Chains A and B, each alone.
Chain A
Amino acid sequence: MAQQPNTSNHAPSGSSESATKHVLSFLLMIALTVVAFALVMYDIVPTNMILPLILVLATIQVFLQLFTFMHLNQKGTAFYTIFMVTGILIAVVSAVGIILM
């Protein structure tokens, strides 16, 4: 395994690592956040739709974050994925346990 720290995560992965892409996804995230704020501040959609819509926006943003800024689309991320999936699973079980039980 990698003993030297500098060989770990900086493998170039071609065209996907461009500054344009980072700026674009950054702008997209700001846009998503603005939309979420707007939904709450102005009566654009019915009140009972606000929460589900915000959750959808949040999910999109989480995936954007994971792939563009946390580089989950690159190779060698098996451990991050294992730990994240386990963490999410445990969190979901705990939350469901608390709410339903």
Chain B
Amino acid sequence: MGTLIVLIVFALFITAILTGGYNKEAIEKFKKSKAWDWLTTVDHKKIGIMYFISGFFFFLIGGIEAIFMRMQLIVPHNDLFVGDTFNQLLTMHGTTMIFLAAMPLLFGLMNAVIPLQIGARDVAFPFLNALGFWLFTAGGLLLNLSWIFGGAPDAGWTSYTTLALNDYSPGPGIDYYVLGLQISGIGTLIGGLNFIVTVINMRAPGMTFLRMPMFTWTSFIASALILFAFPALTVGLLLLMFDRLFGANFFDHAMGGSSVIWEHLFWIFGHPEVYIVILPAFGIMSEVISTFSKKRLFGYTSMVFATVVIGFLGFMVWVHHMFTVGLGPWSNSVFAVATMTIAVPTGIKVFNWLFTMWGGQIRFKTAMLFAVGFIPTFVMGGMTGVMLALPPADFQYQDSYFVVAHFHYVLVGGTVMGIFAGAYYWWPKMFGKMLNETLGKIHFWTFLIGFHLTFFPQHFLGLFGMPRRVFTYQANVGLEQLNMLSTIGTIGMVIGTLAFVFNIVITFKKGAKAPADPWDGRTLEWSISSPAPEYNFAQLPLVRGYDAWFMEKQAGNKEMPAAEPLGSIHMPSPSFIPLLMSIGFFVSGFGFVARGDYSMGILGLIIVFIAMFMRSFDQDHGYHIEPHEIEEANKGVKA
């Protein structure tokens, strides 16, 4: 504690010397700067962009970790990254990709698009939205700082006990996992809750539930899954934290605990989690396929029904991750049947996408390419999923590369391709510029070919007996060629991702300005300018049917009919409290990782409570945008 105070005072001195003491002008200037604007924003579009950027940053980190692992496995008996380092790489790759890449990238798209799709001016709780983002960022940074301070977690992304307990994992690695995920998990829970309330309460007049766009529907169901699944993770992490930091024995069987409880809690959360990341991707695909086939989504009602059923069944199947734990034939059979049932609603979805394309005027823009590439890739992952759902067969496949191939086919082939499709589709609406189509096509083809080259051989590696999570393998048992192929395949994915990065850079430098409706869209977000104005809709639109904007275009209307007269628009004020609160949690998390002295951990929690107190007594009623300001802005755009 003493050292900390000395450091803080020293930092204040340095700042004072550099800025020349308390300088009102400098502070005013900083408060007017762009950085302050972004740090304190509560605007869902800006938060969406920040989610997207930080998610993509973590996606690159997770990708680098994957490349390192494939480099180690390129030849037998390699010694590039062995033992603990390899374990750290595989743990951080899984954790980063699921929690810090897939979820925030989807949250970014959800934030940017859902309020526009349902005709709302913002999400239901703009403050909580900002808080969710900053908490996720704080947790993600804490988790990744483990590389620098004390070693990354190395017990797998599932972090099974007893391995994750103090006896077998000394050092701070697992503590970073527990606290980092706990903090970012609070953020995710807040975000999910926010979207549920937004979809229920903030829909424009006439936007009934069965007129909602498919992406809004799937995100709504995914948010409900977050609400029900994340508490299980929170409880599990809390128990693990008590076991590791405070000497409790929840998972220590020698002291009367049970290590299987962790597996249950983790997978009660973990299985819905994979639906949380795939359902919004399904929604993106539905939007993209429908728009670029110029057809109404085939079987819209059955799509909604299938989404709800998948969400519900997602909670009834977690034991299929634990077939070999030894819970008995009865339990394995029940959960095997439940698991195979999920193939039915998923099949409904796949056929609906195919029927939507059938007879449509298909335009193969990059977004559509990703959607079309997604269907066969995802179906292959689904097929191996049904194979794994059979307990007797699963005893053979489990912990082999077959499982690795399966979940990469559904997660990369499903979620990542969905995110890329969504990025190309909504980029104009998010940033007001058009991504380059040629680079987009290079991105798609290299990524798709590289992906299949990487992961298709892994099915056979698994069937030939190569275990997952092991850093090397024997020569002359038939594993060399396929491993070599698999590593070569990553080059394709790297080139694809680099093409995407390059595309983003040149789009920012000299991209064409996006029109309001570049793809001949069908849903409300395309009825307003790109990027959307701060208040989204000058007048709330009146929705008269499914695919509301397309309907109006068919009827010859140039814009949506208004549901209200032009009036002053109430906006929430920006706030720095979300950032302050997240910094508090970050400091606290770091404090608890540093075992023994908890003063810093408590200091962080004090910051959190001060921030909560400030928020509770904050007398801020927001501000208004008056109609004449909107008209002036519109004139500027039209002229």
Taking Cβ atoms with an 8 Å cutoff, the residues of A that contact B are 1-3, 5, 8, 79, 83, 86-87, 90, 93-94, 97-98, 100-101
Contact = CB atoms under 8 A, between A and B. Distances in A.
A93 B315 contact: yes
Given A79-B200, A86-B224, A86-B228, A101 B315 contact: no
A101 B327 contact: yes
B470 interface: no
Interface of B is mostly: helix
A1 B264 contact: no
Given A3-B540, A90-B315, A97 B264 contact: yes
Contacts of B331: 97, 100-101
Given A3-B540, A83-B224, A86-B228, A94 B201 contact: no
B297 to A, nearest CB: 22
Given A1-B203, A101-B319, A94 B268 contact: yes
B200 A3 contact: no
12 contacts: A1-B207, A86-B312, A87-B227, A87-B228, A90-B228, A93-B315, A94-B318, A97-B268, A97-B318, A98-B264, A101-B319, A101-B327
A100 B330 CA distance: 11
Interface string B18-43: 00000000000000000000000000
Contacts of B227: 83, 87
Interface of B: 196, 200-205, 207, 224, 227-228, 232, 261, 264, 268, 312, 315-316, 318-319, 327-328, 331, 540
Contacts of B315: 90, 93-94
A1 B328 CA distance: 49
B126 to A, nearest CB: 13
Contacts of A101: 319, 327-328, 331
Nearest to B258: A98
Nearest to B263: A98
Given A1-B202, A3-B540, A101-B328, 13 more contacts: A1-B207, A3-B205, A5-B201, A79-B200, A83-B224, A87-B228, A90-B228, A90-B315, A94-B232, A94-B264, A97-B319, A100-B331, A101-B319
A3 B202 contact: yes
Nearest to B120: A3
B338 to A, nearest CB: 10
Given A1-B201, A3-B540, A93-B315, A98 B224 contact: no
B304 to A, nearest CB: 15
B345 to A, nearest CB: 17
Q: Which 6 A-B pairs have the closest CB atoms?
A: A101-B331, A101-B327, A90-B315, A98-B264, A94-B268, A1-B203
B323 to A, nearest CB: 11
A5 B196 CA distance: 15
Contacts of B204: 3
A90 B327 CA distance: 20
Contacts of B540: 3
B261 A93 contact: no
A98 B205 contact: no
A2 B197 CA distance: 12
A3 B201 CA distance: 7
Given A93-B315, A97-B319, A8 B201 contact: yes
Contacts of A79: 200
Nearest to B197: A79
Nearest to B330: A101
A2 B198 CA distance: 11
